[in-house]
């Protein structure tokens, strides 16, 4: 994305500018804009926004000011304000391809993909050599499921700028979403060159996929909880090849992974590491192991033998169902991934369904806020790590969840899991269809329009009625 604040030489303002500037004032304006942009680039967004707003009082029609404000507001999640500032920016400089592309970025973040695509197309129509425009357009097309077009745009972006590491990484994701897993995971190694990818500081060498028998390998987390739950399956393959497997993981996962049977030692982040010979990112294992995901599809995580989590039963209930509806605040795209809690309340009115909330964090308050304390059982309040979550899941017939780590846990355990997905679903859930190769017992219910949860829940309730009917058969 073209997220860098821009500073251009001041041009003569239009006659509608109500505050003419003298030379010294213009120089001061440029200097203040430069300082605001420096704060922006350094990540001090509140400071940058405050400075931009002060400058806007002096130059209310300044295109770069509105553009920079739009970018900064998007980064802090103020999406509608971001869109409006980008529109004001374009009103002052309508033929600027970068401004069209930045408006497209804001519209994409707000979930208005069709409108975003129009502005991205306009950006490359204005400049056929605008690599950032092709890159940003590709992300929107990929979100819409237009994968072949997205791959083509990313190829064009790379032709214009072969050193664009982010474009190489996003191309790898598009290939994986298109089902080209072997090529995609190999290409996804390009992510290691991105600045946000954690850099490891081990003195031992990285494993290159070669002979591993008799060696101690440390697997470490690179991204989030969901990725550990998804890719730790490959530890089984390393164990089969004769390796001693040590997994460094988030503290919430340690007890769950320690009981897997194919991990020799699970170490929480911050604890002292045992000796090891080589290391590898968990996310790199599909490429390094070169094993078909289908061969790794059997359940590979299980609950501990003992836990204080005990779920009850009711005589009339045919199905015990766990629900999870909201992403953790501050996570990327948490607004798009989270589903309205009210949609789940319709399920709670069916005496044949026993509903357990597995929701964690601040959204646990939704239960009381919507008066649902007598409609479902709040188990999430008593779950403090993923070992306990696995114990709860093992007592359910079905998990219904948004894109969240607990959905990966359900899939890894082989529990029937229904994942409710936004239109722009994360690549880990693949794209199109109702299944992914890594979780055979998992089924997807996808939006067909951005923000349309009504149709998702309608399809899910129809499927639920079918499951209840099968349960009733002798």
DSSP 218-263: EEE--S-HHHHHHHTTHHHHHHHTT-EEEEEE-GGGHHHHHTSSS-
Burial 93-120 (b: 16+ CB within 10 A, else e): beebbbbbbbbbbbbbbbbbbebbbebb
Q: Give phi and psi for 272, each to the nearest 5.
A: -70, 135
The rounded distance, in Å, linking the Cα atoms of 48 and 69 is 8
Taking Cα atoms as reference points, which of 392, 393, 395 lies closest to residue 382? 392
Considering only CA atoms, give the Rg of the chain.
25
State the Cα–Cα distance between residues 7 and 98, nearest whole angstrom.
13
Residue 25 confidence (pLDDT): 61
The whole-angstrom separation of Cα 270 and Cα 210 is: 29
Q: So what's the pLDDT on residue 294? A: 73
Q: What pTM does this model have? A: 0.89
Q: What is the C-alpha end-to-end distance of the chain, expressed in Å?
A: 57
Third-level CATH fold of 23-193: 1.25.40
Name 43's Cβ contacts closer than 8 Å, sequence gap at least 6. Answer: none
Dihedral sign, CA of 345, 346, 349, 353? negative
The pLDDT of residue 298 is: 87
pLDDT of residue 474: 46
How high is the pLDDT of residue 1? 60
pLDDT digits (tens, 9 = 90+) for 18-76: 344 445 666 788 899 999 999 999 999 999 999 999 999 999 999 999 999 999 999 99
Q: How far apart are CA 147 and CA 412, in angstroms?
A: 27
* pLDDT for residue 241: 96
State which residues of the chain have pLDDT below 50.
Answer: 7-22, 473-474
Topology of the domain comprising 319-472: Rossmann fold (3.40.50)
DSSP-based three-state secondary structure for 455: helix
DSSP β-bridge partners for residue 280: 219
**Residue 24, pLDDT score:** 63
Task: Using the structure block, give the residue that is written with the tokens 């199905």.
Answer: 319
DSSP 423: S
Domain borders along the chain are: 23-193, 216-296, 319-472
Looking at residue 291, its pLDDT comes to: 80
């Amino acid at each position: 994305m073209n997220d860098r604040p821009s500073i251009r030489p001041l041009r003569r303002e239009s006659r509608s500018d109500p505050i003419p500037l003298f030379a010294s004032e213009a120089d001061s304006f440029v200097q203040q804009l430069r300082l605001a942009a420096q704060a922006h680039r350094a990540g001090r967004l509140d400071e940058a926004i405050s400075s931009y707003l002060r400058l806007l009082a002096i130059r209310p029609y300044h295109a770069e000011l509105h553009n920079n404000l739009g970018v900064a507001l998007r980064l802090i999640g103020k999406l509608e304000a971001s869109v409006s500032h980008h529109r004001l920016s374009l009103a002052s400089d309508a033929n600027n391809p970068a401004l069209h592309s930045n408006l497209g970025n804001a519209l994409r973040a707000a979930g208005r993909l069709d409108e975003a695509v129009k502005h991205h197309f306009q950006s490359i129509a204005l400049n056929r050599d605008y690599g950032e425009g092709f890159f940003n357009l590709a992300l929107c097309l990929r979100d819409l499921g237009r994968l072949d077009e997205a791959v083509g745009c990313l190829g064009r972006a790379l032709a214009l700028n072969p050193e664009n590491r982010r474009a190489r990484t996003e191309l790898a994701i598009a290939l994986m979403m298109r089902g080209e897993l072997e090529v995609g995971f190999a290409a996804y190694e390009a992510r290691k060159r991105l600045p946000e990818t954690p850099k490891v500081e081990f003195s031992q060498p990285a494993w290159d996929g070669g002979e591993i028998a008799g060696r101690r390998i440390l697997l470490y987390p690179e991204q989030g909880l969901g990725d550990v739950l998804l890719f730790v399956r490959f530890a089984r393959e390393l164990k089969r090849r004769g390796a001693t497997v040590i997994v460094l993981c988030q503290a919430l996962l340690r007890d769950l992974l320690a009981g897997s049977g194919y991990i020799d030692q699970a170490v929480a982040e911050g604890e002292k590491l045992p000796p090891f010979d080589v290391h590898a990112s968990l996310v790199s294992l599909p490429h390094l192991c070169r094993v078909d995901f289908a061969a790794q599809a059997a359940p590979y995580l299980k609950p501990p033998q003992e836990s204080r989590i005990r779920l009850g039963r009711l005589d009339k209930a045919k199905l015990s169902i766990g629900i999870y509806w909201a992403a953790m605040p501050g996570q990327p795209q948490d607004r798009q991934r989270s589903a309205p809690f009210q949609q789940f309340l319709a399920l709670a009115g069916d005496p044949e369904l026993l509903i357990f909330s597995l929701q964690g964090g601040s959204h646990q308050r939704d239960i009381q806020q919507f008066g649902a304390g007598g409609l479902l059982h709040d188990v999430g309040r008593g779950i403090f790590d993923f070992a306990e979550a696995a114990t709860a899941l093992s007592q359910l017939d079905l998990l219904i969840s948004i894109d969240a780590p607990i959905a990966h846990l359900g899939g890894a355990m082989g529990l029937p899991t229904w994942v409710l997905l936004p239109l722009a679903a994360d690549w880990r859930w693949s794209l199109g269809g109702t299944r992914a190769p890594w979780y055979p017992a998992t089924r997807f219910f996808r939006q067909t329009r951005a923000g349309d949860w009504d149709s998702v829940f309608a399809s899910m309730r129809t499927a639920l009625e079918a499951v209840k009917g099968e349960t009733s058969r002798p």
